[in-house]
Amino acid sequence: MSDTRLSFKEMCAEFDVTPRTLRYYEYIELLQPDREGRARFYGPRECARMKLILRGRRFGFPLEDIRQWLLMYEKDGTEHQMQVWVEHATSQLEELARQRAQLDETIEELRSLRDGVAEDLRKT
pLDDT tens digits, 90-110: 999 999 999 999 999 999 999
Looking at the structure, tell me whether residues 67 and 110 fall in a common domain. yes
pTM assigned to the model: 0.75
Domain count, the chain: 2
Q: In the chain, what is the straight-line distance between the N-terminal and C-terminal CA atoms, in Å? A: 63
Looking at the structure, tell me whether residues 39 and 69 fall in a common domain. no
pLDDT classification of 56: cutoffs 50, 70, 90: very high
The CATH number assigned to the domain holding 23 equals 1.10.1660.10
Looking at the structure, tell me whether residues 46 and 83 fall in a common domain. no
Q: How far is CA 111 from CA 58, 101, 103, 106, 117, in A?
A: 28, 15, 12, 8, 10
Q: What's the rounded Cα separation, in Å, for the pair 16 and 58?
A: 13
Q: Which of 58, 73, 105 is the last residue of a domain?
A: 58
Write the DSSP string, 36-88: ETTEEEE-HHHHHHHHHHHHHHHTT--HHHHHHHHHHHHHH-HHHHHHHHHHH
Looking at the structure, tell me whether residues 72 and 118 fall in a common domain. yes
Handedness of CA 66, 70, 76, 79 (dihedral sign): positive
Looking at the structure, tell me whether residues 107 and 77 fall in a common domain. yes
Model confidence pLDDT, tens digit, residues 3-30: 689 999 999 999 999 999 999 999 999 9
Looking at the structure, tell me whether residues 12 and 36 fall in a common domain. yes
Looking at the structure, tell me whether residues 38 and 72 fall in a common domain. no
Q: What's the rounded Cα separation, in Å, for the pair 124 and 122?
A: 6
Q: Which domain holds residue 88?
A: 62-124
Q: Which of 58, 74, 102 is the last residue of a domain?
A: 58
Return the number of other C-beta atoms located less than 10 Å from residue 61's C-beta: 19
pLDDT the model gives residue 10: 97
Order of strands across the sheet that contains 34-36? 6-7, 39-42, 34-36
Q: Which of 11, 30, 58 is the last residue of a domain?
A: 58
